[in-house]
């Protein structure tokens, strides 16, 4: 099973693409290392305050994927003050 999280984020502290990339790289690395998921920026590459990420979790249990992706949302809300959560969706794609 593959779980997909699409998350749209806003960074009010970013003043340039360089700032955004630095903060975004930190977030992506932390999510990958803590949750063992794949993360990619899928939209907003050329804007300096917004981004859209796709996060995938792979497991033989759809419920486990959903739990992991929900924990990621909680982590972003709680610990990443630079990034404000604008919107997200979670679904199983296979």
- State pLDDT tens for residues 35-85: 999 999 999 999 999 999 999 999 999 999 999 999 999 999 887 678 999
Residues in contact with 76: Cβ distance below 8 Å, sequence separation at least 6, in sequence order: 7, 9, 27, 83, 85
Give the C-alpha separation, 93 to 3, whole Å.
6
| Of the options 3.50.50.60, 3.40.50.300, 3.30.70.1120, 3.40.50.720, the CATH number for the domain spanning 2-92 | 3.30.70.1120
Give the C-alpha separation, 18 to 78, whole Å.
24
**Model pTM?**
0.92
Q: Domain coordinates of the chain in residue numbers?
A: 2-92
Give the C-alpha separation, 41 to 55, whole Å.
9
- State pLDDT tens for residues 33-47: 999 999 999 999 999
pLDDT the model gives residue 80: 66
């Amino acid at each position: 099973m593959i779980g997909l999280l699409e998350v749209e984020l806003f960074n009010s502290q970013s003043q340039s693409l360089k700032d955004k990339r630095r903060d975004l790289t930190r977030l992506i690395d932390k999510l990958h290392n803590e949750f063992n998921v794949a993360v990619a920026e899928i939209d907003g590459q050329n804007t300096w305050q917004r981004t859209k990420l796709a996060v995938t979790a792979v497991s033989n249990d759809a419920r486990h994927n959903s739990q992991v992706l929900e924990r990621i949302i909680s982590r972003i809300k709680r610990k990443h003050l630079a990034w404000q959560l604008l919107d997200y969706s979670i679904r199983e794609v296979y």
